[in-house]
Amino acid sequence: MSNEALEKSTMSKASRRLLPYLLLVFCLCYIDRTNLGFAGLTMNKELGLTASVFGFGAGLFFIGYFLFEVPSNLCLARFGARRWIARIMVSWGLVATLMCLIQGENSFLAMRFLLGATEAGFFPGVIYYIGNWFPTRHRGVALSRFNLAQPIALVVGSIVSGFLIGSMDGVLGYSGWRWLFVAEGIPTVILGIVTLYYLTDTPADAKWLTEEERQWLINEMNQEAEAIKGANKDYSIIQALLHPSILILGLAYFLAICEGVYGLNMWIPQMINAWSGLPAWQIGLVGALPFVCAAIALPIIGKSSDNHHERKWHLTGCLIAGAAGLLLSAYFSNNFVLTMFFLCIAAIGMFSAIPLFWTVPAMILTGPAAAGGIAVINSIGNLGGFFGPTAVGYVRTATGTFMGGLLLLGASVLLGAVIVYGMCKKYEHKVDLFDEGQK
């Protein structure tokens, strides 16, 4: 078999085996993380939660996430992805289900913190895991397919959550938002158990590849690691955790991705409710529209980046589009149709940027150091998931509108785009992994 045919068959098998399943479990992760936005339509009134308390609680998830992210990802590198991802899924699934027992402000805040603590390590762990299976020239498409889970989850979650809130309200004497947490949390526990038996830790363990395919992939990943080490210092885990470029990438992820994405995700159902006054099930349909657009655009942009062997302009352009969409949606906030149009542009830009962003750390770190570095970036960045929803909540309480919050999110994404551009420019010429894999 020629090298080109061998590469094609190996990558095709790895994609079919791993990516659909990882996409599915990330869908569940994102639904459990963001379904609070729909629960808040009725939960806030029932429990007496103010907009500022709700925004703080929505963001508190990321404080727990931040504190446990790095230790969790180091454990993944130590115990293996299969076991550790399964453990994470069962833990967060149980907490997500038990959100149905919330009785007031204190239990609401406590459960959101626990949800973040138990989910910590999942996303960066999978990013690290994909990086062990897909060479750089295939990684943009692989990460785009995996991150397609986010808009898909928000589409499905919007429709299903809107339906559950309305149709299950009062069943057996419980509110619809309580049934929402039960119905969307239990599948995660079940899939967590399946994960233990389905995932394969490393290419060397992949019995579903032929010996020739397995050896080709092992050699490719080893050669890529050597190329990165040749262009950069071989960092220890501790050095990776404190690497200035890793910390700057964490700040960029904070500003450009997490603050904008989660600030929008957590509040869009209530934004639409305030702008239109639609019933819950219709809010679910309308609220899904930006994420449908993102789901269509995300794999197209990821494939374009791989085909053109280019990251910097694809990534920066997406973030600028996301910032422009948020800023223009605030400017036209009195026009519901135009506002939704620009929120669609914002969603396309921000969600398409996520998989491209995660190709950048691979230019700097490899091995266990990469696991730690990715966790640091994600933990710092996800603090934006705390500040974004919290800031929108406080601005909403102070002004009575969402305009100021959208302006704040747009400015944050724009600043992050500038930082990302600088980091891509710094490292893009140090090691050309696209060409390295084709020699």
Share of the chain above pLDDT 70, in %: 90
Q: How far apart are CA 358 and CA 377, in angstroms?
A: 10
Q: Tens of pLDDT along 32-85?
A: 877 887 888 889 888 988 888 888 888 788 888 888 887 887 788 788 888 999
Distance CA 287, CA 199 (A): 33
- Which range is most confident: 179-183, 276-280, 382-386, 432-436? 179-183
Among the listed residues 124, 128, 14, the one whose alpha carbon sits nearest the alpha carbon of residue 367? 128
**CB-count exposure of residue 269 (10 Å: 0-12, 13-18, 19+):** buried
Tell me the residue length of the chain: 439
Residue 437: pLDDT above 70?
A: no
Total-model pTM: 0.70
Domain annotation for the chain: domains and CATH numbers: 3-436 (1.20.1250.20)
Under 8 Å CB-to-CB from 200, ≥6 apart: which residues? 17, 18, 82, 206, 207, 208
| pLDDT tens readout for residues 9-32 | 999 999 999 999 999 998 898 888
Identify whether the C-beta of residue 259 lies closer than 8 Å to the C-beta of residue 413: yes
- 173: helix, strand or coil: helix
pLDDT at res. 438: 41
Question: Side chain identity at 149, as an amino acid letter?
Answer: A
Query: Tens digits of per-residue pLDDT, 163-186?
Result: 888 788 788 888 888 999 999 999
C-alpha span between 37 and 110 (Å, rounded): 17
Q: Give me 331's structure tokens.
A: 């400017």
Quick: pLDDT tens for 306-356: 888 888 899 999 999 999 998 998 888 788 889 889 989 999 998 899 888
Q: Which amino acid is at 323?
A: A
**Cα–Cα distance, 349 to 345 (Å, whole number):** 6
Which amino acid makes up residue 320? I
pLDDT band at 431 (very low <50, low <70, confident <90, very high): very low
Residues 6+ apart with CB under 8 A from 81: 125, 126, 128, 129, 199, 201
H or E stretch at 315: helix 312-331
Q: Give the C-alpha distances (Å, rounded to integers) separating 92 from 26, 68, 130, 160.
A: 12, 13, 21, 20
- Is 359 strand, coil or helix? coil
